[in-house]
Amino acid sequence: MTAPSKPAGRIFSGAQPSGNMHLGNYLGAFRNWARLQDDYEALYCVVDMHAITVWQDPQDLQAQIREAAAAYMASGVDPERSILYNQSKVAGHAELAWIFNCVSRLGWLNRMTQFKDKVGKNREKASVGLYIYPNLMAADILLYKATHVPVGADQKQHLELTRDIAQKFNNDYGEDIFPLTEPVIQAEGARIMSLRDGSKKMSKSDPSEMTRINLNDDADTLANKIRKARTDAEPLPGTADKLDERPEAANLVGIYAALMDVSRDAVCAEFEGKGFGDFKKALTEVVVTKLSPITEEMARLQNDPAYIDQVLKDGAERASALAEPVLAEVKRAVGYL
């Protein structure tokens, strides 16, 4: 018998249960989580504490937490091979976040573009939790000394902040406790844009359903959304660099490429000279073929909430066991009695 090979490191990642899970979450995150779970020791968390930084109806939140867990599993995350749990069940996230609130600097948080984009002109009305959100995210990752974090491109700045917090903590307390975590961002699928506006990312919080492909959309809804997706009158070019000034066209080609696991150049070569009427038909077929097994599996899992709750409970116990020694080490370094 050969000994199991050593994991390449430890992964932590998560998604907010704040609305429907969509194609951006799948291509930017969930799919890659499933692909990485055998090479790394992996924790995949439903970040319900992050979700309440904006108002969530308590009844809806419970369903959304289960929906997120179902989406992870339907995308291939196996709760036996990974640790799948929800954040609020492991108290160490909140405890470490408080310590990081005292390490992180106001100037650093003031530079966070996601906060600025989210609050717009309503900064004074935003919750304090939304402002310090990135400190909690750093706590999520560093509570397990995670070495790698697979995410979409929109999380890059938050991961840079995580490294700044780790470095400052290590310097301030004179101990090398935290690693400098690396982001893992894929070439294709890391930034899926709105179907209606190629300058905005596909997002759970967009009020228009027509901007995103939800993982629980049925085939007719998918076809309708793709048919109505914004494009331009030009045919597809032979190479992807010619899509630079055509954000909506580039996005649809990017979705096709990511779902088929090929490059945008390969998609352009295949469809060169074709109009978007033809391309959208091919894209619909690919989206329906790839997503319908996930949609069906999500529905099946969501019909069994007791199973999902058991998975989350087991996961929380395993996560707590990993978090405890790290938290003890941090508390000692800080000088808590």
37 binds ligand TYM (CB under 6 A): no
The size of the interface with ligand TYM (CB under 6 A), counted in residues, is: 26
Question: What secondary structure, in 3-state letters, does the chain show?
Answer: CCCCCCCCCEEEEEECCCCCCEHHHHHHHHHHHHHHCCCCEEEEEECHHHHCCCCCCHHHHHHHHHHHHHHHHHCCCCCCCCEEEEHHHCCHHHHHHHHHHCCCCHHHHHCCHHHHHHHCCCHHHCCHHHHCHHHHHHHHHHCCCCCEEECCHHHHHHHHHHHHHHHHHHHHHCCCCCCCCEEECCCCCCCCECCCCCCCECCCCCCCHHHCCECCCCHHHHHHHHHCCCCCCCCCCCCHHHHCCCHHHHHHHHHHHHHHCCCHHHHHHHHCCCCHHHHHHHHHHHHHHHHHHHHHHHHHHHCCHHHHHHHHHHHHHHHHHHHHHHHHHHHHHHCCC
155 binds ligand TYM (CB under 6 A): yes
Is 150 in contact with 174 (CB distance < 8 Å)?
no
Among 34, 52, 137, 195, binds ligand TYM (CB under 6 A): 137
Q: How far is the CB of 183 from ligand TYM (least distance, A)?
A: 9
Active site residue 118: yes
By beta-carbon proximity to ligand TYM, the closer residue of 155 and 231 is 155
82 binds ligand TYM (CB under 6 A): no
Among 10, 11, 13, 301, binds ligand TYM (CB under 6 A): 13
115 binds ligand TYM (CB under 6 A): no
Active site residue 225: no
25 binds ligand TYM (CB under 6 A): yes
Tell me the per-residue interface mask from 184 to 223 with ligand TYM, x by CB under 6 A, - otherwise: ------xxx--------xx---------------------
Look up residue 231 and give its amino acid: T
By beta-carbon proximity to ligand TYM, the closer residue of 200 and 331 is 200
Among 11, 29, 132, 252, binds ligand TYM (CB under 6 A): 29
By beta-carbon proximity to ligand TYM, the closer residue of 108 and 235 is 108
**145, 204, 225, 280: which one is catalytic?**
204
152 binds ligand TYM (CB under 6 A): yes
**6, 116, 118, 145: which one is catalytic?**
118
12 binds ligand TYM (CB under 6 A): yes
Q: Which residues lie near ligand TYM (CB under 6 A)?
A: 12-16, 24-25, 27-29, 47, 50, 137, 140-141, 149, 151-152, 154-155, 158, 190-192, 201-202
What is the set of active-site residues? 118, 201, 204
